[in-house]
Structure 1
Amino acid sequence: MMIKPRVAVIVLNYNNPTDTISCLQNIRTTNYDNFQIIIIDNHSTDDSISQIKAALLPSEIFIEAPINKGYAAGNNLGIREMQSQETDYFCILNNDVEVDPNFLDILVTKMIENPDLGIVGPKICDFDNRNLVQSTGSIVNMNFGRATELNKNRPVSEVVSEVISCDYVGGACMLVRSKVIDQVGLIPEDYFLFYEENEWCAKVKQAGYQIACVTEATVYHKGSHTINQISGLSEYFMYRNLVIFVNRNGSFKNRMIFLTYFIGFCFKSLLFKKHGGRFFRYFWDGITGINRYQYLQK
């Protein structure tokens, strides 16, 4: 019997042991028979560590991050742990995701069949309304930094089973070739939160690989429970990191168009939004790389 490629499934936890343990138990039900679970605690301040350790099986790996440096840095701890252990693929999985038992087998099979694929993701559906699609990958307009989520809010029945080429797949679930990581590097850690998977996928495409959503595979995504614990966090990093992403990955023309657009947006927000001046701060922090939530990295 042929041994299937080895997959490292990495799940990041921060102050959310309930979802993480539920995700852990769910991963164990997958039909794939050659995977290693790695749980990373991203320096939680609650009792996550004791709860998760109590739920682990002896074969599962648990890593405590010494400092919270964000989504990318946390997941990179798991990647580094498994890179020297003959790992063929890495599956980055959010802790608020429930997987279909066949998802991993489908994704790995598609990667084997298509050597040009560097990163793939499944069809992401809503956790509460399972007949509703959240995303089947996204296309990016670099002039304005806008990402269009393909098939967003469409009924599952309207999405044909196929491989959809895209610019990036959501970080809720993505499968990456180990050799691609060796070639392009780990997940970019400068963002702390949001847009790191966008840039990672962009680098993989620049290296000559394709990014795609395999719609036959399915996961169910609850939403950003951890992010919503801190007021203003989501908005701040969405806008700050948008500036960083376009500045680092767009062409000169892209950057000039985006600069004009975003400054205009900032002035419009100043005039018509309550406390609209905050968008100038987001822009400045994106240009300079300042992180006003640096205190989270303690």
Structure 2
Amino acid sequence: MEKTVYIIVLNYNNYKDTIECIKSLEALNYHNYKIVIIDNKSTDDSNIILKEKYSSKYKYIENSSNLGYGAGNNVGINYALNNNADYICILNNDTIVKADFLIKLVNYMEYNLKCGIVGPVLLEHSNPKKVQSSGAVINLLQGDMSCINYNKDIGELEEEIIKCDYVGGACIVIRRKVIEEIGLIPEEYFLFYEETEWCYKAKKFGYDIICFTPAQIFHKGSVTINTINELSEYLLNRNKILFEKRNASFIILILFYIYLIMETLFNIITKKQGGKIIKYYFHGLFNLIDDKYPFIYIPSKKKSKK
């Protein structure tokens, strides 16, 4: 008997991609799955269009504000946990899935009980043979998060099972038991690094994090974030510092700060980056949010002083 899988699809101002994503899900050859669509307080017509199209077929939830990736998806996770989910799949709305991706991931989990989180290979939607990621590794000393097999041809991948530190947030399948042990997706980031910490925490609890390469989906990339000027740059740099603070040991954290100061000074002197990067790091260090982004929801966030 197939385990019950809840697939959480979060939408923000991008109903066209969401519709295309759900269309691909409807062709799955896995049968015991339920779709939960969450609109993160879109400002376009998403809430009207998606509600009209899907509320009679799937669970549809409208958040009262844009909660970001973590908190937005957690609304769906809580719903799934309260409705007897065995597995939960967090799926970006800018993905197109292969019909067999879910059955391959769930079957792997069923036969490998030490695996707590599994993900597919992410392929470029615009170039279906090019690998975006087959998992990633974390270097806390340098604050580096490196995608495995990035930009390779899918035919070059020889391993079926890739142990890694985290799988990309575009598609994560996680056991119910793991969520009950480690908690929901961290909400302190709004966007970027939350899935990194979630996987990293599961690994600290003794679970394997796996990219199962026979399972593959197509990812269009960060469509929504690219429409917002400088937001991705701001959050990526701010959240890198926050992630290090929350996850590195004291000694590693001190060494990371030394490395970061040297790297930043070199990049500013050689004009590889501007001085504004210092503000991004400062906000991560003290959990601040720039006043120019008032819509960012983060629990217990502080506003920056002008």
> SS of 1:261's equivalent?
helix
What is the TM-score normalised by the length of structure 1? 0.96
Deviates more, 1:173-182 or 1:260-269: 260-269
- Asked if the contact 2:141–2:256 (Cα under 8 Å) also holds between the matched residues in 1, the reply is yes
| 1:33–1:57 Cα change, 3 Å | farther
Q: Determine the structure 2 residue equivalent to 1:77.
A: 75
Within the candidate set 114, 120, 135, 1:137 is matched to 135
For 2:190 and 2:295, the matched residues in 1 are separated by 10
After TM superposition, list the pairs within 5 Å mapping 1:1-298 onto structure 2.
3-56=1-54, 58-273=56-271, 276-292=274-290, 294-297=293-296
For 2:264 and 2:48, the matched residues in 1 are separated by 45
| 1:295–1:211 Cα change, 3 Å | same
5+ residue gaps, structure 1, are: none
Deviates more, 1:102-111 or 1:152-161: 152-161
> SS of 1:215's equivalent?
strand
Shift of 1:294: 4.5
- Asked if the contact 2:70–2:191 (Cα under 8 Å) also holds between the matched residues in 1, the reply is yes
For 1:179 and 1:236, the matched residues in 2 are separated by 34
Deviations, residues 244-289 of structure 1 (Å, cap 9, x unaligned):
1111111122201110111223323433438712111011101111
- Asked if the contact 1:117–1:211 (Cα under 8 Å) also holds between the matched residues in 2, the reply is yes
For 2:186 and 2:55, the matched residues in 1 are separated by 31
For 1:163 and 1:291, the matched residues in 2 are separated by 39
What is the TM-score normalised by the length of structure 2? 0.94
Q: Which amino acid aligns with 1:289?
A: N
Pairs aligned (count): 296
- Asked if the contact 1:171–1:197 (Cα under 8 Å) also holds between the matched residues in 2, the reply is yes
For 1:233 and 1:268, the matched residues in 2 are separated by 24
For 1:250 and 1:274, the matched residues in 2 are separated by 27
Deviations, residues 32-76 of structure 1 (Å, cap 9, x unaligned):
000110111111111111111232162301111111121000000
Shift of 1:161: 4.9
For 2:159 and 2:278, the matched residues in 1 are separated by 43
Deviations, residues 219-238 of structure 1 (Å, cap 9, x unaligned):
00011110011100111111
Deviates more, 1:271-280 or 1:230-239: 271-280
Deviations, residues 157-192 of structure 1 (Å, cap 9, x unaligned):
111251110000000001000110011000000001
For 1:57 and 1:283, the matched residues in 2 are separated by 42
> SS of 1:39's equivalent?
strand
Root-mean-square deviation (CA), in Å? 1.4
